[in-house]
């Protein structure tokens, strides 16, 4: 579900489609991927077949893709939404960051909040460090989706793991789709 007062103003960078494409190819193989994409709208299929990292794409297309992935793979992977978030982190972090360690994790999470507008043309994100982790707060979203929040959990978990964090947990403690004013992700690691 995509809800909110301004869904037509919400855009995300095409790089978000890249990790999802890789996840689908890894799990469905090329033929299954082609069959899967053929069931998407033309716009979403185009973004998925050829993800262009620097292109701005409609947030609604990302949600359409995530919903379709969920429906296709939920029986095999009940946590598939977290897995596609993790795939997005794997692609983005693995290609950009070469030397990862726990000391850089907080800097990475702070940069995610700072550069939020480079990946999404809606909303604001702030990161607050805590003794054993941190909190990511997402506010002022013109539209939102529980599907996107579920994939964010996987993105943050994979980000923590890739930076050497141990025993991570990520819990969404507030969500706009449940009536809260903001979405809050509490993150803990050792």
Q: Summarize pLDDT for 112-148 with one digit per residue, the tens.
A: 877 777 788 888 999 999 999 999 999 988 888 999 9
Give residue 106's pLDDT.
Answer: 82
Q: How far apart are CA 39 and CA 41, in angstroms?
A: 7
Give residue 123's pLDDT.
Answer: 87
Give residue 96's pLDDT.
Answer: 55
User: Which contiguous run of DSSP H or E holds residue 164?
Assistant: none
* Reported pTM: 0.90
- Phi, psi angle pair for 139, to nearest 5°: -135, 165
- Which residue is listed with tokens 């296709």? 72
DSSP string, 56-69: EEEHHHHHHHHHHH
Tell me if residue 178 falls in helix, strand or coil: helix
Residue 163 scores a pLDDT above 60? yes
Q: What is the pLDDT of residues 10-46, one digit of tens each?
A: 899 998 999 999 999 999 999 999 999 999 999 999 9
Please count the residues of the chain. 190
Give residue 9's pLDDT.
Answer: 80
């Amino acid at each position: 579900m995509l809800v909110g007062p301004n869904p037509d103003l919400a855009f995300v960078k095409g790089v978000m489609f890249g990790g999802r494409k890789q996840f689908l190819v890894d799990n469905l193989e090329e033929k299954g991927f082609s069959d899967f994409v053929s069931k998407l709208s033309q716009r979403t299929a185009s973004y998925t077949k050829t993800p262009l990292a620097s292109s701005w794409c409609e947030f609604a297309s990302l949600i359409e893709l995530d919903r379709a992935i969920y429906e296709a793979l939920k029986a095999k992977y009940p946590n598939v939404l977290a897995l596609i978030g993790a795939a997005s982190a794997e692609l983005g972090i693995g290609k950009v960051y070469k030397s990862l360690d726990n000391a850089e994790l907080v800097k990475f999470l702070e940069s995610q909040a700072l550069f939020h507008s480079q990946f999404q043309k809606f909303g604001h994100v702030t990161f607050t460090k805590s003794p054993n982790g941190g909190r990511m707060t997402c506010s002022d979203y013109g539209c939102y989706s529980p599907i996107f929040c579920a994939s964010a959990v996987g993105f943050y978990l994979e980000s923590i793991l890739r930076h050497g964090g141990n025993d991570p947990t990520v819990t969404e403690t507030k969500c706009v789709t449940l009536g809260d004013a903001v979405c809050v992700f509490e993150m803990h690691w050792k």
